[in-house]
Amino acid sequence: MSDGASRAFSSIMSSIDPAMVVVTAAMEDGERAGCLVGFHAQSSIGPERYCVWLSKANYTYRVAANSSHLGIHFLTADDRVLAERFGTLTGDATDKFADLELTSGAGGVPILQSCPHWLVVKRIATLDEGGDHVCMVTERVEAHSAGAFIPFRVSHAEEFTPGHESTARPLPPTERAG
Ligand SMILES: Cc1cc2nc3c(=O)[nH]c(=O)nc-3n(C[C@H](O)[C@H](O)[C@H](O)COP(=O)(O)O)c2cc1C
Protein backbone atom coordinates (compact mmCIF):
# COMPACT_ATOMS: atom_id res chain seq x y z
CA MET A 1 0.00 0.00 0.00
CA SER A 2 1.43 3.43 -0.87
CA ASP A 3 -1.24 5.69 0.66
CA GLY A 4 -0.46 8.59 3.00
CA ALA A 5 -0.73 6.50 6.15
CA SER A 6 1.68 3.93 4.73
CA ARG A 7 4.17 6.68 3.80
CA ALA A 8 3.87 8.14 7.30
CA PHE A 9 4.42 4.69 8.84
CA SER A 10 7.61 4.26 6.75
CA SER A 11 8.80 7.74 7.65
CA ILE A 12 8.36 7.12 11.39
CA MET A 13 10.11 3.73 11.16
CA SER A 14 13.04 5.33 9.27
CA SER A 15 13.36 8.10 11.82
CA ILE A 16 13.64 5.77 14.81
CA ASP A 17 16.59 4.05 13.07
CA PRO A 18 16.87 0.97 15.32
CA ALA A 19 20.12 -0.61 16.42
CA MET A 20 20.84 -3.91 14.69
CA VAL A 21 21.48 -7.32 16.23
CA VAL A 22 22.55 -10.70 14.92
CA VAL A 23 20.29 -13.46 16.25
CA THR A 24 21.77 -16.96 16.31
CA ALA A 25 20.24 -20.36 17.01
CA ALA A 26 21.21 -24.04 16.98
CA MET A 27 19.19 -27.23 16.98
CA GLU A 28 20.05 -30.32 19.03
CA ASP A 29 21.57 -31.99 15.96
CA GLY A 30 24.03 -29.09 15.60
CA GLU A 31 22.33 -27.31 12.69
CA ARG A 32 23.02 -23.60 13.25
CA ALA A 33 21.74 -20.34 11.83
CA GLY A 34 21.91 -16.60 12.27
CA CYS A 35 20.60 -13.44 10.64
CA LEU A 36 20.66 -9.67 10.97
CA VAL A 37 17.58 -8.39 12.83
CA GLY A 38 16.14 -4.91 13.20
CA PHE A 39 12.88 -5.95 14.89
CA HIS A 40 13.76 -6.54 18.56
CA ALA A 41 12.97 -4.99 21.95
CA GLN A 42 13.12 -5.48 25.73
CA SER A 43 9.62 -6.51 26.81
CA SER A 44 9.83 -6.88 30.61
CA ILE A 45 12.08 -5.48 33.37
CA GLY A 46 11.46 -8.16 36.00
CA PRO A 47 11.84 -10.85 34.76
CA GLU A 48 14.27 -9.65 32.11
CA ARG A 49 12.52 -10.48 28.86
CA TYR A 50 13.44 -9.71 25.26
CA CYS A 51 11.49 -10.17 22.01
CA VAL A 52 12.89 -10.75 18.54
CA TRP A 53 10.80 -10.95 15.39
CA LEU A 54 12.05 -13.39 12.77
CA SER A 55 10.92 -13.47 9.15
CA LYS A 56 9.06 -16.60 8.10
CA ALA A 57 11.20 -16.50 4.94
CA ASN A 58 14.47 -16.97 6.80
CA TYR A 59 16.49 -20.09 7.39
CA THR A 60 17.16 -18.65 10.86
CA TYR A 61 13.45 -18.69 11.66
CA ARG A 62 13.20 -22.38 10.81
CA VAL A 63 16.21 -23.27 12.97
CA ALA A 64 15.16 -20.94 15.81
CA ALA A 65 11.67 -22.47 15.90
CA ASN A 66 13.37 -25.77 16.79
CA SER A 67 15.89 -24.32 19.27
CA SER A 68 15.57 -23.87 23.03
CA HIS A 69 17.82 -20.77 23.21
CA LEU A 70 18.86 -17.82 21.04
CA GLY A 71 21.99 -15.66 20.95
CA ILE A 72 21.38 -11.92 20.51
CA HIS A 73 24.50 -9.98 19.50
CA PHE A 74 24.30 -6.18 19.67
CA LEU A 75 26.41 -4.80 16.81
CA THR A 76 28.65 -1.75 17.10
CA ALA A 77 29.31 0.88 14.45
CA ASP A 78 32.48 -1.09 13.55
CA ASP A 79 30.55 -4.29 12.71
CA ARG A 80 29.55 -3.49 9.11
CA VAL A 81 31.26 -6.57 7.63
CA LEU A 82 29.60 -8.91 10.13
CA ALA A 83 26.22 -7.19 9.58
CA GLU A 84 26.54 -7.59 5.82
CA ARG A 85 27.41 -11.28 6.13
CA PHE A 86 24.43 -12.07 8.38
CA GLY A 87 21.97 -9.77 6.58
CA THR A 88 22.69 -10.56 2.94
CA LEU A 89 23.70 -14.24 2.87
CA THR A 90 21.30 -17.07 3.65
CA GLY A 91 21.97 -20.27 5.54
CA ASP A 92 19.93 -21.99 2.84
CA ALA A 93 23.03 -21.67 0.64
CA THR A 94 26.00 -20.76 2.89
CA ASP A 95 27.46 -21.61 6.27
CA LYS A 96 27.83 -18.06 7.60
CA PHE A 97 29.76 -19.34 10.63
CA ALA A 98 32.42 -21.27 8.69
CA ASP A 99 35.44 -19.03 9.37
CA LEU A 100 34.22 -17.21 12.50
CA GLU A 101 35.48 -17.70 16.04
CA LEU A 102 32.66 -19.12 18.13
CA THR A 103 31.85 -20.38 21.58
CA SER A 104 28.59 -22.00 22.52
CA GLY A 105 26.09 -20.95 25.16
CA ALA A 106 23.10 -22.68 26.73
CA GLY A 107 21.39 -25.09 24.34
CA GLY A 108 24.49 -25.04 22.12
CA VAL A 109 23.66 -21.61 20.71
CA PRO A 110 26.60 -20.07 18.75
CA ILE A 111 28.18 -16.98 20.33
CA LEU A 112 30.20 -14.76 17.97
CA GLN A 113 33.54 -14.08 19.65
CA SER A 114 34.07 -10.78 17.85
CA CYS A 115 30.95 -9.33 19.53
CA PRO A 116 31.47 -8.17 23.11
CA HIS A 117 27.79 -7.30 23.72
CA TRP A 118 25.43 -10.27 23.72
CA LEU A 119 22.62 -12.12 25.46
CA VAL A 120 21.80 -15.78 25.59
CA VAL A 121 18.06 -16.08 26.04
CA LYS A 122 15.65 -18.94 26.58
CA ARG A 123 12.58 -19.09 24.36
CA ILE A 124 9.39 -18.98 26.45
CA ALA A 125 6.62 -18.16 23.94
CA THR A 126 6.01 -17.63 20.23
CA LEU A 127 3.44 -15.32 18.67
CA ASP A 128 2.45 -15.78 15.04
CA GLU A 129 -0.38 -13.34 14.46
CA GLY A 130 -0.37 -13.89 10.70
CA GLY A 131 2.17 -11.26 9.65
CA ASP A 132 5.39 -11.92 7.81
CA HIS A 133 7.47 -12.04 11.03
CA VAL A 134 7.01 -14.24 14.11
CA CYS A 135 7.59 -12.87 17.62
CA MET A 136 9.82 -14.99 19.83
CA VAL A 137 9.44 -13.99 23.47
CA THR A 138 12.51 -14.88 25.49
CA GLU A 139 14.02 -14.59 28.95
CA ARG A 140 17.61 -13.62 29.68
CA VAL A 141 19.88 -16.51 30.73
CA GLU A 142 23.34 -14.97 30.18
CA ALA A 143 24.53 -11.45 29.33
CA HIS A 144 27.91 -10.02 28.50
CA SER A 145 28.95 -6.45 27.73
CA ALA A 146 32.19 -4.51 27.44
CA GLY A 147 30.38 -1.27 28.42
CA ALA A 148 28.66 1.50 26.51
CA PHE A 149 28.91 1.39 22.70
CA ILE A 150 27.77 3.12 19.54
CA PRO A 151 25.36 0.78 17.73
CA PHE A 152 25.31 -0.26 14.08
CA ARG A 153 21.94 1.04 12.94
CA VAL A 154 19.46 0.17 10.20
CA SER A 155 20.46 3.36 8.33
CA HIS A 156 24.00 1.93 8.06
CA ALA A 157 22.54 -1.12 6.25
CA GLU A 158 20.63 0.82 3.57
CA GLU A 159 22.60 -0.75 0.71
CA PHE A 160 22.21 -4.34 1.92
CA THR A 161 19.99 -6.69 -0.07
CA PRO A 162 18.51 -9.20 2.42
CA GLY A 163 19.25 -12.88 1.79
CA HIS A 164 15.48 -13.43 1.70
CA GLU A 165 12.69 -10.97 0.90
CA SER A 166 10.10 -10.95 3.68
CA THR A 167 7.45 -12.29 1.29
CA ALA A 168 9.53 -15.30 0.17
CA ARG A 169 8.56 -18.73 1.47
CA PRO A 170 10.67 -21.88 1.38
CA LEU A 171 9.53 -24.63 -0.95
CA PRO A 172 7.94 -27.53 0.92
CA PRO A 173 10.21 -30.52 1.51
CA THR A 174 10.05 -33.06 -1.33
CA GLU A 175 8.03 -35.58 0.67
CA ARG A 176 5.27 -33.02 1.27
CA ALA A 177 5.42 -31.44 -2.19
CA GLY A 178 3.62 -34.37 -3.75
C1 LIG B 1 18.45 -3.78 7.47
C2 LIG B 1 17.93 -5.19 7.62
C3 LIG B 1 17.04 -5.50 8.65
C4 LIG B 1 16.55 -6.81 8.79
N5 LIG B 1 15.69 -7.11 9.82
C6 LIG B 1 15.25 -8.38 9.97
C7 LIG B 1 14.41 -8.74 11.07
O8 LIG B 1 14.05 -7.91 11.91
N9 LIG B 1 14.03 -10.04 11.20
C10 LIG B 1 14.43 -11.00 10.31
O11 LIG B 1 14.07 -12.17 10.48
N12 LIG B 1 15.20 -10.70 9.23
C13 LIG B 1 15.63 -9.41 9.06
N14 LIG B 1 16.43 -9.09 8.00
C15 LIG B 1 16.65 -10.09 6.95
C16 LIG B 1 17.71 -11.14 7.20
O17 LIG B 1 18.78 -10.68 7.99
C18 LIG B 1 18.26 -11.64 5.85
O19 LIG B 1 17.23 -11.99 4.94
C20 LIG B 1 19.21 -12.82 6.02
O21 LIG B 1 20.00 -12.93 4.86
C22 LIG B 1 18.47 -14.13 6.28
O23 LIG B 1 19.41 -15.16 6.48
P24 LIG B 1 18.94 -16.67 6.75
O25 LIG B 1 18.08 -17.10 5.59
O26 LIG B 1 20.24 -17.42 6.87
O27 LIG B 1 18.19 -16.65 8.04
C28 LIG B 1 16.96 -7.80 7.87
C29 LIG B 1 17.88 -7.50 6.85
C30 LIG B 1 18.37 -6.21 6.72
C31 LIG B 1 19.36 -5.93 5.63
Average pLDDT score over residue span 71-94:
98
User: Which residues are bridge partners to 140 per DSSP?
Assistant: 121
DSSP string, 104-162: E-GGG-EEETT-SSEEEEEEEEEE--SSSEEEEEEEEEEEE--S--PBPBGGGGTT---
Question: What percent of the chain clears pLDDT 70, i.e. is strictly above it?
Answer: 94
pLDDT tier at 169, thresholds 50, 70, 90: confident
pTM of the model: 0.95
pLDDT tier at 174 (50, 70, 90 boundaries)?
Answer: low
For ligand 1, pick from 40, 50, 58, 63 the residue to mutate: most ligand atoms within 8 Å of CB. Answer: 58
How far is C-alpha 71 from the geometric centre of its chain's CA atoms? 9
Please check whether residue 36 is in contact with residue 80, taking contact to mean a CB–CB distance below 8 angstroms. no
- For residue 177, what pLDDT is reported? 47
pLDDT at 157 over 50: yes
Tell me which residues have their CB closer than 6 angstroms to ligand 1: 33, 35-39, 53-55, 58-60, 87-92, 133, 154, 157, 160, 162-164
pLDDT of residue 52: 98
